[in-house]
A and B are shown apart, each in its own frame.
Chain A
Amino acid sequence: MIKHHLHSEILLSYAAGNSSPSESLIVASHITSCSKCRRDVETFEKLGGKLLEISNSVEVDSSSLDNIMSRINNDDYSIDSSDVLGTSDIFKNIPVVLQKYLPDGDSLTENWKKGIGGIKYFDIDLGQSNKNTRARMLSIPPGKKLPNHGHEAQELTLVIHGGFSDENGSYDAGDVAIEDENNSHTPISDPKEGCVCLVVYEGKLKFKGLFGPILNFLKI
């Protein structure tokens, strides 16, 4: 049962189509398992449809219909069903939208980079034009306590596996922690399973949030 959700303005941006690549990734991953936020996105898409419906009609070019008819006459497109499902067992319980960006291996984290204290991480390349937004996978060993810290800008953390807890409660698979300049806390990873999570950072170049101190210590 998902307890911690994305904020409404983040879901609105995703539906309107103007969230950054990294924010889109975390929204798409969260709404795969969260029907509540998915329904909100659908509501905002309905609004988009309504705005389209009440737009002015503008006459289309006279050649436009001929163009599209000749394109569909020569179209040999077919839906490729082979790229729909995850191929590897290591990606079990990871949303398909996220699997695409992760390296294959004998285990999920085999080809991730090694950090201190058993932490592993993998930077997701979304080809962002804006380098101030970043997406990173983190694997944190069980029972790891992080120093109390604050934040400078928005950082979103989606738990993929295991979990963590802090002063605000506990976060399990599917939950999203939203950190901003107004909070500080002392997170600790799940004592049995540790925590695999997707962290998305918007704004400045440094990770300052939930696992920020560790990320920065890694000099990434």
Chain B
Amino acid sequence: MFLENTIETADISAKMSYIDYKKDKAYKVLKPAVKDEELTRLISLVATDKDKSAFSNLFKLVGPRIKGYLMKLGSNDIVAEDLLQEVMLTVWRKSETFDRSKAAVSTWLFTIARNKRIDMLRKEIRPQLDPMDPMLTPNEEESADDAYGSKQQSLKINDAISLLPDEQSKLIKMTYYEDKSHSVIAEELKMPLGTVKSRIRLASTRLKKLLEGTIHD
């Protein structure tokens, strides 16, 4: 597992996540994909009817995990609560932009949480792809069973992470969990910037291939 590989740091939070991850896996085995379908149903109720009780249920279901994720990324309790409010307000406002054929609920929530963190904590402009841009080229052909929403695909992502060598999963972790730019990672690991870039290139290319199912080792 991703977290198993990095656990040698004796980092308590990593251990906790690992335990949580195992619980999560058990949960998925018991209740395959129910959770995602329920979340999708609630989001579409919010999108079509501005259904407030559906929104309230959605908040109860996803709030604690979003907060946990934000705290894992280094926010304290107060900041994480504030960010969670902003994330959920965006969920309320943009529920109709959620397209279940394109992305899993967790992916959609991740992008919202990511953007809110940048807005609030970095106070920087971060230009982003405009999904309405008339210049957008059509997506490449994707077969129906290639979409990541299903249970099988969820498990595949976990498997893929577990197949990365220790150093590569560490670099990926620093990118996502510690919100570190390549130059910060280079400083911390006392490596030349070029080396960090090429190693993350290797790690991310490998991960991508694993996620796309083109490597089965």
Q: Which A residues lie at the B interface, using CB under 8 A?
A: 7-9, 11-13, 16-21, 24-25, 28-29, 31-36, 38-61, 64-65, 67-69, 71-73, 75, 77, 79, 84-85, 93-98, 100-101, 126-129, 153-154, 180-182, 202-203
Contacts and interface: CB of A to CB of B under 8 A. Distances in A.
Nearest to B200: A9
Interface of B: 3, 16-17, 20-21, 24, 52, 55-56, 59-60, 63-69, 71-72, 80-81, 84-85, 88-89, 92-94, 103-111, 113-115, 117-118, 122-130, 132-140, 148, 154, 157-158, 161, 172, 175-177, 179-183, 193-194, 197-198, 200-201, 204-205, 207-208, 211-212
Contacts of A84: 130, 132
B200 A39 contact: no
Q: Per DSSP, are chain A's interface residues mostly helix, strand or loop, or mixed?
A: helix
A43 B211 CA distance: 7
Contact of B133 (A24, A61, A97): A97
A67 B86 CA distance: 11
Contacts of A39: 139-140
B109 to A, nearest CB: 6
B157 to A, nearest CB: 5
Contacts of B108: 49
Given A55-B72, A57-B68, A126-B127, 10 more contacts: A9-B197, A33-B137, A42-B103, A45-B111, A50-B154, A54-B24, A55-B65, A60-B84, A95-B133, A153-B193
Contacts of B68: 55-58
